[in-house]
Amino acid sequence: MTDEQPAAPPQRVRVTAPRNGPPAASAPARTGPIRRPTPGAAGVAPHAPTSDIQGVYVRSLIRSQLRIGLVFAAGFAVATALFAIALALTPALDVWTIAGVPVSWLLLAVGVYPLALTVAAIYVRAASRNEARYRSLSELGDEERP
């Protein structure tokens, strides 16, 4: 990052978030609410893989997060497309009006938002579950190492 780039202007201060320290292998859960900035700031990744097995876990976490992202995106796209096709192929919806507005217009105006919200809510849980699985795997891996 910047520290390793001689060409970058040296005086720039990158605003970085307060982070937890690197995950010490045998450390218990956080002991308090205080969060410390990582020493060395941007130049040091706080979760640099410490061993091959950790690297495998991280790669599998990235793969599974990408997989659920793509699955949910595809699900949303397919469902939206089917919805639009169904509206287009049902001319009766153009004739039937509620308060003077054809139902096909009303459905297109409000129909996709609940779908997007549902997909998003399920995804948030799935992504957190992936991370929880990673955490328990990597803690297990740490304990098995001498």
Partner 1 sequence: MNPAIGYVAIAAVAIASALIGFYGLRVSRTTSDFYVASRTVRPWWNASAIGGEYLSAASFLGIAGLILLTGSDALWFPIGYTAGYLMLLLFVAAPLRRSGAYTIPDFTEARLESPWARRVTSILVIVIGWFYIVPQLQGAALTVRIATGLPSWVGSVAVAVIVAGVVAAGGMRSITFVQAFQFWLKLTALAVPVFALLFVVASGAPAALPPVEAFPPSAGPGDHDVYRTVSLMVALLLGALGLPHVLVRFYTNPDGDAARRTTLIVLGLLSVFYLFPTAFGLLGRAFAPDLATTGEADALVLLLPGRLVPGLWGDLLTALVIGGAFAAFLSTSSGLVVSLAGVISQDLLGGSVRGFRIAAVASAMVPLLVALATEPAGLAGSVGLVFAFTASTLCPVLLLGIWWRGLTARGAIAGMITGAVLSGAAILGGAAISAAVPGVRPLLEQPAAWTVPIAVLVTVFVSRADRGRVPRGVDAFLSRLHVPEHETR
CB of 146 to partner 1, least distance (A): 21
Which of 63, 21, 58, 45 lies closest to 134 in space, CA to CA?
A: 58
- 16 lines the binding site for partner 1 (CB under 8 A): yes
- 82 lines the binding site for partner 1 (CB under 8 A): no
CB of 141 to partner 1, least distance (A): 13
Range 23-52, binding partner 1 (CB under 8 A): 23, 27, 29-30, 35, 42, 45-49
Which residue lies nearer to partner 1 by CB, 16 or 39?
A: 16
CB of 18 to partner 1, least distance (A): 6
- 19 lines the binding site for partner 1 (CB under 8 A): yes
- 109 lines the binding site for partner 1 (CB under 8 A): yes
Dmax over Cα atoms in the chain, in whole Å? Answer: 74
- 84 lines the binding site for partner 1 (CB under 8 A): yes
- 137 lines the binding site for partner 1 (CB under 8 A): no
Going along 1-139, which residue ranges are E strands?
A: 97-98, 101-102
- 67 lines the binding site for partner 1 (CB under 8 A): no
Q: Sort 104 into a burial class: Cβ within 10 Å, 0-12 / 13-18 / 19+.
A: buried
CB atoms within 10 A of CB 138: 20
d(CA 48, CA 21): 11
d(CA 109, CA 103): 10
